[in-house]
Amino acid sequence: MTRQENLKMQQPVIYQLLQAQLRDNRRSHAYLFSGSRGSGTKDAAILLAQSLVCQNKTGVFACETCSACQRIANGSYGDLMVLDGREQSIKKAQIQNVQNQFNKTALESSGEKIYILDGAENATDEALNSLLKFLEEPAGMKTTAILLTQALDKILPTIRSRCQIFYFNSTRRQPCFEACQSAGLNFGDSWLLSQSTSDVEEAMEISQSSAYTRAREAFIKWIPGFVENPWQAALILQNEGLTRGKNREENRQVLTLLLSFCASFFRVLCANRDLQDDWWRQQQAIYRQKQLPAQKLLQVVLEIQDQNNRVANTDLLADQFAYRMWEVTQ
């Protein structure tokens, strides 16, 4: 299976977003791919790099077989630099070396200069500060940075703000889903739990919690409510989900679960999939009929998920979530 085929199957939302950028020639100068091990961030970075230099494209993505594509894949392309921070930290001198090399004339005919930082969260503070300056002043219009991380919260906010962030979904959910069904949970609960964690024991613990009950009820009411009146749907968060000013830790758990449920809903919608669940199919048919911007809604959910790992005020974040989702529909 080619990288393009794998990306389309495993990460359909990422596939569509990159496809649109390459087609419309509106790429970013810096990307941040965030995802757990096995989610395909490295392969996606290689595919993006190949697509920027390939001369034999049949569509917007690389052919993956020409000389340039093969040299990108094996790391021998003259204007590609890959720093691996998975085993040991990325140092300031390595970032400076990238800067020095990219300030020189391009070695390859495409003129594209690309650097990939794998395990960017393991860069030293000095390296990150040097990287920040490079992101602010890239060496020419054809310089592209692709940062890969398994811990987005460890990336400096100043770095994140200068990158376009792509959130990769875990691809290890199916075993958890099947185990939940085997334990007697219905399709809907099994699906929602498996989208919240890939650990079976954790999924079963979550299923017994009051936070899960509250989040599930809020989700089931919020999804149809949002179609009818996006702004009024904010009341569902207040009345069905969060208890204002009380139970702060449980409120955070409720919001965390609710966001994972919403992210799952919009991912399936973007992928144009139909789950074997009557309620799910009915709601997605309504969203398609209303032509709501599923990709933009998903992006908001993912961004709020990221903030939920760092922001202490759950009530304020829930209000921000409601407002930004409403804003997308205007």
Per-residue pLDDT at 70 exceeds 90 = yes
Q: Is the pLDDT of residue 100 over 70?
A: yes
Q: Domain-by-domain residue ranges, the chain?
A: 3-167, 209-328
More confident residue, 126 or 248: 126
Cβ-proximal residues to 208 (8 Å cutoff; 6+ apart), any chain: none
Q: What is the rounded CA–CA span in Å between residue 143 and residue 145?
A: 7
Question: How far is 174 from 188, CA to CA, in rounded Å?
Answer: 14
Query: What is the C-alpha separation between 249 and 209, in angstroms, rounded?
Result: 13
Which residues are registered as beta bridge partners of 114? 80, 144
Q: Please tell me the least confidently modeled range out of 58-62, 89-93, 235-239, 283-287.
A: 235-239
Contact 81, 115 (CB under 8 A): yes
Least confident among 53-57, 207-211, 235-239, 315-319 = 235-239
Give the span between the Cα atoms of 4 and 227, in whole angstroms: 33
Collapsed DSSP state (helix, strand, coil) of residue 11: coil
* Pair of tokens at residue 268: 């399936």
- Residue pair 299/271 in contact (Cβ under 8 Å)? The answer is no
Range from 113-122, 157-166, 310-319 carrying the lowest mean pLDDT: 310-319
Q: Residue 184 CB: number of other CB atoms within 10 A?
A: 8
> What are the pLDDT digits (tens) for 21-53?
999 888 888 999 988 777 789 999 999 999 999
Rounded average pLDDT over 216-241: 81
Q: Is 249 helix (H, G, I), strand (E, B) or coil?
A: helix
What pLDDT digit, counting tens, does each position of 101-113 carry?
Answer: 888 888 888 888 9
The pTM (predicted TM-score) of the whole model is: 0.65
CA distances from 215 to 229, 246, 260, 263, 265 (A): 20, 16, 10, 13, 14
Q: Is 104 helix (H, G, I), strand (E, B) or coil?
A: coil
Class of domain 3-167: alpha beta
Distance CA 133, CA 101 (A): 15
